[in-house]
Amino acid sequence: MGVFLIVGLGNPGETYQNTRHNIGFDVVDFISEHLQAEWKTDRFGWISRGKYKSRSVILLKPNTYMNKSGDAVRYWVNAEQIEAEQLLVIADDLALSLGQLRIRPKGGSGGHNGLSDIERALGHQNYPRLRFGIDRRFQSGQQSDYVLGKWSAEETMLVQLSIERAKAGVLLWVFQGLARAMNTVNAMPAPGTENGID
């Protein structure tokens, strides 16, 4: 089965902790905790290695800042000889409702700087990605402040529920494949309407 590389996108540093744009970091942190795998500083970021049902998993948080995420992903794809279908990138998405999740086998960046840079670095967009909805609750011209802003107290509970769902979806992808993960995760409504996968 090879190795599965799961990349959470975000920006390094305390300033960006608990911000909407860093939800990729938050999801892989939660997965790492579940796998009882420690983070270690390595090339282009932080790496956490673990096992899930006998499958080898590498988690990556690039320290290159969002718009240079591709350098980190390309390095680890090459270093670990990761096939495109065994790479999963987790990123925030303004087009989805708060906490809504979507797994796709490939696709464009949707204007996301991290995904755009990964496409540049890899030379293609044919890799799976999990998009985590952060909604679009801002006025014209305030997008940057919004995505770099921190979750409100009201949002935090829903976000944590979706982080748990995202973890379950990612591990489903690792163990049972992309089609099963897509069918399960993409059928879930936005959080707060009914229970998701455990």
Q: Known catalytic residues?
A: 21
What tokens were used for 192?
A: 């707060």
Q: Which residues contact 8 (CB under 8 A, 6 or more apart)?
A: 23, 24, 25, 26, 27, 28, 29, 59, 60, 61, 90
> Closest Cα to residue 192, out of 152, 147, 170, 159?
159
CA distance 66 to 32: 21
Do residues 166 and 132 make contact, with C-beta atoms less than 8 angstroms apart? Answer: yes
Burial bucket for residue 29 (CB in 10 Å: 0-12, 13-18, 19+): buried
Q: Which residues contact 92 (CB under 8 A, 6 or more apart)?
A: 9, 20, 21, 22, 23, 24, 112, 131, 132, 133, 134, 147
